[in-house]
Amino acid sequence: MTPAPRPTASPGSTLLGAAAFLALATTVVLGLRLPPTREQGPYARLIAIHPPLAWAAYLAFGVCAVASALWLWRRTRAPKWDRVAAASAEIGVVFCALTLVTGSIWGRPTWGVWWTWDARLTSTALLLALFLGYLALRRVAYDPEARARRSAVAALVAVADVPIVHFSVDWWRTLHQGRSLAQLAPQADLDGSYVSVMLLGLAAMTLVYAWLLVHRCRVEALEARLESAGLDVAIEERRAEAAVARAAS
C-alpha cells in the first residue's frame, strides 16, 4: 500500500502563503498603475519590485549567516540551523538573480545599456556568485558534519559582501541611483504613492520569502530523513548478509 503523502504545508503556512499572494498581487496591480515620473517616465514603476527584491535577498543571506553562526557556536549547534542556512541561501540566490534581471530591464531604457561594470551592479553580481559557490560547496562534502562546518564558514565570508552592495552607491561614484530605501525617509522627495507601493512591495517580498523559507526548510528536513532512512536500510541489508554468511559457515 502506498503511504499517504505528507505535504510540506500546514494551516499556518497556508495562511502565510495567502497573505504573501495577496500582498504580491496588490503590489503588482498598484505598481503598474503608478503615475509616470518626469525623469524616468513609466520605468520608475519598477521601484515597486526591484528594491524589494534586493531587500529580500539581503534578508535571506542575513538569515543564512545567522543560522550558520548558530551552527558554528557549540552551545546552539543543531542540524536545524544547517538546514535553515541551506534553505535561506537558495531562496536568496533566486531573489538576488531577480534583482539583477529587473535592474538590467530598468537600466536598458534609462541608462541605455543592459549591463555596466558599476560598483553596485558588480558587487551584486559578486554576491550572487559567492552564494552560488556556497550552494555548490554544499554538494561536495558527503559527511553532513563536514558539509555543515565548511558551508557555515563560507556563508559568513560571503555575507560580508552584503554591506558592500548596500553602501556601494555611497562609497563609490556609480551610475546607479542612491539607496532606494533612503527614499522612505520623510525628507526624501519621492512621491507619496511611490513610497506606499514600495513599502507594500517590501512587505510582500518579506512574506514571500518567509513562506518559501518554511516550505524549503521542510523539504530540507525530508531530505535529511530520507538520507537517514536510506542509511538505515543499507545497514539492515549488510546485517542480513552477515547473518546469512554466519549461518552458512
Partner 1 sequence: MSSGYVLAGYGVTVGSLALYAVRVLRRGRVLSRSLPGDVPLAGPASPAPTDPPATDG
Is the CB of residue 197 less than 8 Å from the CB of residue 180?
no
Q: Which stretch binds partner 1 (CB under 8 A): 160-168, 174-182, 185-193, 236-244?
A: 236-244
User: Judged by CB under 8 A, which of 4, 12, 74, 112 binds partner 1?
Assistant: 4
Instruction: State the minimum distance, in angstroms, from the CB of residue 9 to partner 1.
Output: 8
Q: Could you say whether residue 219 binds partner 1 (CB under 8 A)?
A: yes
Is 22 an interacting residue with respect to partner 1 (CB under 8 A)?
Answer: no
225 binds partner 1 (CB under 8 A): yes
Half-sphere exposure in the Cβ direction for 155 (13 Å, CA): 34
Smallest separation (angstroms) from partner 1 to the CB of 165: 19
From 26-34, 58-66, 159-167, 170-178, span contacting partner 1 (CB under 8 A): 26-34
Task: Indicate whether 3 belongs to the interface with partner 1 (CB under 8 A).
Answer: yes
Query: Is residue 145 a contact point for partner 1 (CB under 8 A)?
Result: no
DSSP code per residue over the chain: -PPPP--S--HHHHHHHHHHHHHHHHHHHHHHTSPPBTTTBGGGGGGGTHHHHHHHHHHHHHHHHHHHHHHHSGGG--HHHHHHHHHHHHHHHHHHHHHHHHHHHHHHHHHS-S----HHHHHHHHHHHHHHHHHHHHTT--SHHHHHHHHHHHHHHHTTHHHHHHHHHHHS--SS-S-GGGGGSTTS---HHHHHHHHHHHHHHHHHHHHHHHHHHHHHHHHHHHHHHHHHHHHHHHHHHHHHHHHH-
Cell (9 digits) for 180? 532606494
Q: Which residues contact 231 (CB under 8 A, 6 or more apart)?
A: none
Q: Which is nearer to partner 1, 9 or 181 (CB)?
A: 9
Hey, which residues between 102 and 141 contact partner 1 (CB under 8 A)? 102, 105-106, 108-109
Number of alpha carbons in the 13 Å side-chain half-sphere of residue 72: 15
Per CB under 8 A, contacts with partner 1 among 156-195 are none
The size of the interface with partner 1 (CB under 8 A), counted in residues, is 52
66 binds partner 1 (CB under 8 A): no
* Contact map string, positions 45 to 64, toward partner 1, x by CB under 8 A: xx--xx--x-----------
Q: Is residue 226 at the binding interface for partner 1, with CB under 8 A as the rule?
A: yes
Decide if residue 98 touches partner 1 (CB under 8 A): yes
18 near partner 1, judged by CB under 8 A: no
Q: Which residues bind partner 1 (CB under 8 A)?
A: 2-9, 24, 28, 31-32, 41-43, 45-46, 49-50, 53, 91, 94, 97-98, 101-102, 105-106, 108-109, 208, 211-212, 215-216, 218-219, 221-226, 228-229, 232, 235-236, 239, 243, 246-247
